[in-house]
Amino acid sequence: MKPNIDSILTVGSLAFDTIETPSGKAESVLGGSVNYFSIAASFYAPVQIVGVVGEDFPQSHLEWLASRKIDVRGIRVEPGKTFHWVGSYDQNFNEAKTIHTALNVFETFDPTLDQTHRSAPYLFLANIDPTLQQRVLDQVASSRLVACDSMNFWIKGKLEELKKTLKRVDILSINEGEAFMLSGERNLVRAAEYVRKLGPSVVIIKRGEHGASLFTPSGTFIAPAFPVGQVVDPTGAGDSFAGAFMGYLAQSGAHRDLASSNPAQWDHLLRRAVLAGCVMASFTVEDFSVHRLMRLQSEELHARQNALMKMMAV
């Protein structure tokens, strides 16, 4: 990582996941949105996590994160058990089916930011209750670049709160199915137009094995997924996409005011950041949990970025 890169603050879940996919099964492996996000982002920029775990969460993993220059001091260890998600995927790997959710210590999660967190110029609100996302926004300066994620659960259950969050963010990163649900449209172009009117000037619609589409004030960018030989587990693909995306922006110094001062350069950096996200996600899905990301080398990352660029060249 280059020196003097600004930090990204991320707020969300750390978890144990029990997952079944057509490729196999994993029992109580390390998961959670900010876990995936922070490891992915740490290839590009310093990260600070605000989250909560139970006493059963391995201290060794927090130490491993810290060894990557990920600031884990905002992760509170509370009495009780860590959030546990049980889910499965069908043969298309497209949508996760939740079998069981045990919120545990995450149920009373109330993100509290200290002074270091409040000054990070980049913020990623992972997929949590939109009320909590707003509580984070209340604590930070309005001058930072804010991206957020959400999911069908909140679109169905807390739509008005989610809309309040969206009014306050610059970038929304969301799945295609969720974009359709949020907009009531079954068409990508119209869904993106609808969502941009809700607040975020930049909308990224993630399309799994089909890549991601970026909608900005300057236009549309369609990024392919890097085609992997075997998908093992798509869990965390979206969060690691977001991690590399935000990391790339932070590394490039793409501050919030760039959007208004130089729209063309802003658009260019967003496109590159989306590609960084696609490449990172392609590694994530090659193994369960954060296993592939934990053993990922920068050289592999760069090689695959170059390979993807070649696959797009005309």
**Rule CB under 8 A: which residues touch its own copies?**
22, 91, 186-190, 207, 209-211, 213, 219-222, 224, 227-231, 268, 271-272, 275, 309-314
Judged by beta carbon, residue 79 or residue 229, the one nearer its own copies is: 229
Q: Looking at beta carbons, which pairs linking 130-134 to residues 24 or more positions away fall under 8 Å?
A: 130/154, 130/158, 130/161, 130/162, 130/164, 130/165, 131/158, 131/161, 132/11, 133/11, 133/165, 134/161, 134/164, 134/165, 134/168
Judged by beta carbon, residue 220 or residue 262, the one nearer its own copies is: 220
If residue 31 lies in a helix (H) or strand (E), which one and from where to where? Answer: strand 24-31
Q: From the CB of 149, what's the least distance to its own copies, in Å?
A: 22
Judged by beta carbon, residue 30 or residue 232, the one nearer its own copies is: 232
DSSP states of 81-143: ---EEEEEE-TT--SEEEEEEE-GGGGG------HHHHT-SEEEE-SS-HHHHHHHHHHS-TT
Q: From the CB of 224, what's the least distance to its own copies, in Å?
A: 4
Query: Which residues, in sequence order, are CB contacts of 135 under 8 Å at separation 6+?
Result: 110, 111
Judged by beta carbon, residue 159 or residue 311, the one nearer its own copies is: 311
SS3 38: helix
Q: From the CB of 136, what's the least distance to its own copies, in Å?
A: 32
SS3 53: strand
Tokens found for residue 188 = 């990508």
Q: From the CB of 210, what's the least distance to its own copies, in Å?
A: 4
Q: From the CB of 310, what's the least distance to its own copies, in Å?
A: 6
Separation CA 109–CA 112 (nearest Å): 9
Q: From the CB of 183, what's the least distance to its own copies, in Å?
A: 13
Residues in the chain: 314
Separation CA 203–CA 75 (nearest Å): 29
Judged by beta carbon, residue 220 or residue 261, the one nearer its own copies is: 220
Judged by beta carbon, residue 75 or residue 269, the one nearer its own copies is: 269
Judged by beta carbon, residue 4 or residue 91, the one nearer its own copies is: 91
Q: From the CB of 124, what's the least distance to its own copies, in Å?
A: 22
